[in-house]
Amino acid sequence: MAEHAYRELRARIIDLRLPPGTALDEDGLRGELGVGRTPMREAVKRLEAERMVQVYPRRGTIVTEVSLLDLRAISDARRVMEAYAARTAAGRLGEADRARFADLLERIPAAAQVPPAQAMAFDREVHQVIWAVMRNPYLEDTLGHYFDVALRLWNYVLDRIPPMHANVAEHADLLHAILDGDGETAGRLAEEHVTHFETLVRASL
């Protein structure tokens, strides 16, 4: 039940159903989610450890605000890890992986033309395929977490960002570099991709 409460609250924070600055109505949420006081408390502790909520004595639990400092810190972490993931994937690609990459490459032109929310879903799929090729579930989990906290920032500015055609299209060069076994280029392109995302969000905050 604690896991259920944690995942549901985390999803609502990321997609802004619980916007930054919201005070959690824990009694109401417990009833809505069908969980008791202890599972809710455990879920909140996990979210606090992830810096998604802040617990204040006598004030309750508040969803953390979005800030440029958060954007910079998250992007710095993602640059390092995404570059490592791309470099590693370039050296571990198998035949089944190549088929998945080919499928993604075929879908890029169409994905570059869809609304931002769908474009971001495709972006995540590309990253997940690259992470899987690393064969490192620990780092894969960490990368997924950082992608999610970055996604919350992106959702916060969703109605203010320009079309993401170029951001989606740049996946092609990254995937080709990994397919070619060029880890150095793949790592550089992965870093640049995170930086472009940061620039896009920063301009809209």
What is the tens place of the pLDDT at every residue in 20-58? 999 999 999 999 999 999 999 999 999 999 999 999 988
* Average pLDDT over every residue of 101-109: 96
pLDDT score of 58: 81
Residue 159 binned pLDDT confidence (cut-offs 50, 70, 90):
confident
176, 76 Cβ separation under 8 angstroms: no
User: pLDDT exceeding 70 applies to what percent of the chain?
Assistant: 100
Q: Quick one: average pLDDT of 117-123?
A: 90
pLDDT of 9 > 90? The answer is: yes
Q: Are residues 13 and 63 in contact, defined by beta-carbon separation less than 8 angstroms?
A: yes
Report the pLDDT value the prediction gives residue 78, as an integer from 0 to 100: 97
Measured CA to CA, the distance from residue 64 to residue 101 in angstroms comes to: 37
For the cut 90, the answer to whether the pLDDT of residue 107 exceeds it is yes
Q: Name the residue among 71, 78, 66, 74 with its Cα closest to residue 156.
A: 66
Average pLDDT over residues 94-102: 95
pLDDT at 161 over 90: no
Task: Look at residue 117 in the predicted model and tell me its pLDDT.
Answer: 84
Delimit the CATH 1.20.120.530 region(s) of the chain: 68-204
| Cα–Cα distance, 65 to 108 (Å, whole number) | 33
Q: What is the pLDDT of residue 57?
A: 86
Mean pLDDT for all residues in the chain: 93
Right CATH for 68-204 from 1.10.645.10, 3.30.390.10, 1.20.120.530, 3.30.70.270? 1.20.120.530
Domain(s) labelled CATH 1.10.10.10 in the chain stretch across: 2-63
Per cent of the chain over pLDDT 90 is 81
Q: Which has more confidence, 1 or 163?
A: 1
Residue 63 has pLDDT above 80, yes or no: yes
Mean of pLDDT values over 120-124: 92
2-63 to CATH, choices 3.40.50.720, 1.25.40.10, 3.40.640.10, 1.10.10.10: 1.10.10.10
